[in-house]
A and B are shown apart, each in its own frame.
Chain A
């Protein structure tokens, strides 16, 4: 992972030497105080993070009888999900989650970049544009899902505008596209906001210098804007990917999982709270956790490493 790299090469001036060395006794006291101060937080984290995760993993090795004590069955729940009776639903959900994630993140990033570039320009009414672009992100997902549900009804406004009679909730790809539309509509502003923050850190004199050197607008974009905004873009992509991988509320409200739009999170909720199978649901959530972890790891490994390496080079230059 890249975290140690970045820690070993901090920007200069981040850690200034202490003004004076303290006596050993004072330091020990301070350390004890730090441990004491951290203890409640660690206990709280243990209570709300470690314990539930551990107990879900532990529970996933047991079956789900009705009106009896759960019995230890080893990895049977995992086998059922991956290869057994649950495999059809599991792999379909995994595929859907992957499709939704890849498509929405790609589209959001491109759209978000364009929106950020527009918002970055100085023009009259920029404040209004910035505020209105952010509106979809400010709406709760559940509310926007309901709104999209209404608009996508057979006699809804979307069909009226495009002059067609698409039953959006009636077959696989229209249903998937409606989820993708709604997701992109809602989260592209978030990507735009993050990238805009990145754009604002680019010193204007770089552009001036490039313009004097005769660089075209496209050249300025690819040689200045993109490389310097890249850390912000990477952060946006990371955030969005991890978010999209656990997508639940939007498809749940919009399609209820019909027409092969069920995601992994929906599968977990269905098994654990609707069918009350904590063992099987625990296995599903553990697999989902591992899958999301793997995706995050690979993402940081590939695109993240470059960015952090780039920062380091610039820092040492």
Chain B
């Protein structure tokens, strides 16, 4: 046997070292473990605001319960995966979780979240719809923080009166044709945004996906009318085919290029489109109103993020104190001013100084009066996948609206039965 390289002992040692490294790599340690922090706050990299500043201030005032921030992926799915791994392993490394509005039901049903005192975290000054996104089966599990709903952006330089119903919107499409633009677009790519847009269309026609008791009621004439607004729009050219690939930013870019008369989008789009520069052609030439519906004002769905405390946290008292601070009226006001996005304290929308700095929050506040959370289910990922698949096949004309709704009804009934 020719011996090249290190001898047997050295090789054994190297192997052993590799093994040990591999084994401890799984357990992992968080960055700056030694900062003396008591509470670990897991938050998306893409929260949009300056979370560090908030934490620094909190830590200065609370040296006994210092908070360390851990940034997770910007992508919501990757962020959820990281949290789920911690929760499934009951590791409790993350004490406070920055959760998406649609995760509450699943996390709560799996027993991963600490129930919260509704009086303390979702009092009467909190938007009821925002509180609903943190509630599962009557119990609050996540403290409302950032919120928001879809609005109808329109070109105020081309239209005097924004539409309040779909019929008015369809009539106004003549203006788009005159100017050689497309009329309307939302987010119709097959992803979470499609669930949002489909739920809004269905709700704006009076339909629901689940009723109050959690029964599947999506196969209804109202849902059909809602979905037909989108399907007919694509068929008749009011909605460009390209919108089948749009997510939030693609829709915004089309609108700010001047290619769209109407766009459904979140509040974030406003400051981006107002930004001076050659990127946008529509500065000062657009406005936003609550979504239109079938016979009157429509119904938006809620996006947003809440703060939850892990059931496996070893420092629940400190964690709750921190959640209370971040979701407090003043911190949320600061967050609104910093990010230009809506938060859950109603009183902040009455602060004239704050609202003067963010004019789009006025229509956003109006839109928040007529909202409905996305379907809440402990099997939310199954639900949203089913909605996306069947709605998308109706939008592309692969299935009729009737067939898509019947299939969706059947699939959702199976999902509910399995939950």
Report A's interface with B, CB cutoff 8 A.
30, 33, 36-37, 40-41, 43-44, 47-48, 66-67, 85, 153-155, 167-172, 255-259, 270, 273-276
Is B276 in the interface zone, CB < 8 Å from A? no
Please list 29 pairs of residues, one from A and one from B, whose beta carbons are closer than 8 Å in the complex, sorted by A's number.
A33-B8, A37-B12, A40-B12, A40-B16, A44-B22, A47-B22, A66-B109, A66-B110, A66-B379, A66-B419, A67-B109, A67-B111, A85-B411, A154-B240, A154-B242, A155-B242, A169-B244, A170-B241, A170-B244, A255-B190, A256-B191, A258-B190, A259-B190, A273-B81, A273-B84, A274-B381, A275-B379, A275-B385, A276-B381
Report B's interface with A, CB cutoff 8 A.
1, 8, 11-12, 15-16, 18-19, 22, 77, 81, 84, 106, 109-111, 189-191, 240-242, 244-245, 250, 378-379, 381-382, 385, 392, 396, 398, 411, 414, 419
Chain A residues, CB < 8 A from B84: 273, 276
CA distance A192 to B265 in the complex (A): 46
Contact present for A44 and B245 (CB under 8 Å)? no
* Nearest-CB residue, chain B, relative to A262: B389
Chain A residues, CB < 8 A from B18: 40, 44
Q: A66-B106, A153-B250 are in contact. Are A259 and B396 (CB under 8 A)?
A: yes
* Nearest-CB residue, chain A, relative to B14: A40
Chain A residues, CB < 8 A from B189: 169, 256, 258
A196 to chain B, nearest CB (A): 29
Chain B residues, CB < 8 A from A153: 242, 245, 250
Contact present for B392 and A37 (CB under 8 Å)? no
A162 to chain B, nearest CB (A): 16
Chain B residues, CB < 8 A from A85: 411, 414
User: Which of A44, A256, A270, A276 interacts with B15 by CB under 8 Å?
Assistant: A44
Tell me the dominant secondary structure on chain B's binding face. Answer: helix
CA distance A82 to B15 in the complex (A): 42
Chain B residues, CB < 8 A from A172: 398
CA distance A274 to B102 in the complex (A): 13
Contact present for A41 and B15 (CB under 8 Å)? yes
Most A CB within 10 A of own CB, among B22, B106, B244: B244
Chain B residues, CB < 8 A from A274: 77, 381, 385
CA distance A41 to B381 in the complex (A): 39
CA distance A155 to B11 in the complex (A): 57
A134 to chain B, nearest CB (A): 30
CA distance A256 to B77 in the complex (A): 12
Chain A residues, CB < 8 A from B379: 66, 275
B169 to chain A, nearest CB (A): 22
CA distance A308 to B241 in the complex (A): 52
Chain A residues, CB < 8 A from B411: 85
Given contacts A170-B242, A257-B190, 4 further A-B contacts (CB under 8 A): A44-B18, A153-B250, A155-B242, A172-B398
Chain B residues, CB < 8 A from A154: 240-242, 245
Chain B residues, CB < 8 A from A36: 8, 12
Contact present for B392 and A258 (CB under 8 Å)? yes
B17 to chain A, nearest CB (A): 10
Contact present for B19 and A44 (CB under 8 Å)? yes
CA distance A40 to B396 in the complex (A): 55
**Pairs A-B, 10 closest by C-beta atoms:** A258-B190, A154-B242, A169-B245, A170-B244, A40-B15, A167-B241, A275-B381, A66-B378, A274-B381, A66-B109
* Nearest-CB residue, chain B, relative to A166: B241
User: Which of B12, B15, B111, B396 interacts with A170 by CB under 8 Å?
Assistant: B396
Contact present for B241 and A270 (CB under 8 Å)? no
Contact present for A48 and B242 (CB under 8 Å)? no
CA distance A170 to B191 in the complex (A): 13
CA distance A273 to B15 in the complex (A): 31
A73 to chain B, nearest CB (A): 12
Chain A residues, CB < 8 A from B8: 33, 36-37
CA distance A255 to B241 in the complex (A): 15
Chain A residues, CB < 8 A from B81: 273
CA distance A168 to B109 in the complex (A): 40
A152 to chain B, nearest CB (A): 9
* Nearest-CB residue, chain B, relative to A41: B15
Chain B residues, CB < 8 A from A155: 242
Most B CB within 10 A of own CB, among A168, A170, A273: A170
Contact present for A30 and B19 (CB under 8 Å)? no
Chain B residues, CB < 8 A from A259: 190, 392, 396
CA distance A24 to B109 in the complex (A): 66
B417 to chain A, nearest CB (A): 11
B234 to chain A, nearest CB (A): 10
Chain A residues, CB < 8 A from B16: 40
Contact present for A275 and B191 (CB under 8 Å)? no
Contact present for A43 and B250 (CB under 8 Å)? no
User: Which of A48, A67, A255, A257 interacts with B110 by CB under 8 Å?
Assistant: A67
CA distance A37 to B11 in the complex (A): 8
* Nearest-CB residue, chain A, relative to B392: A258
CA distance A36 to B12 in the complex (A): 8
B412 to chain A, nearest CB (A): 12
Chain B residues, CB < 8 A from A41: 15
Chain B residues, CB < 8 A from A275: 379, 381-382, 385
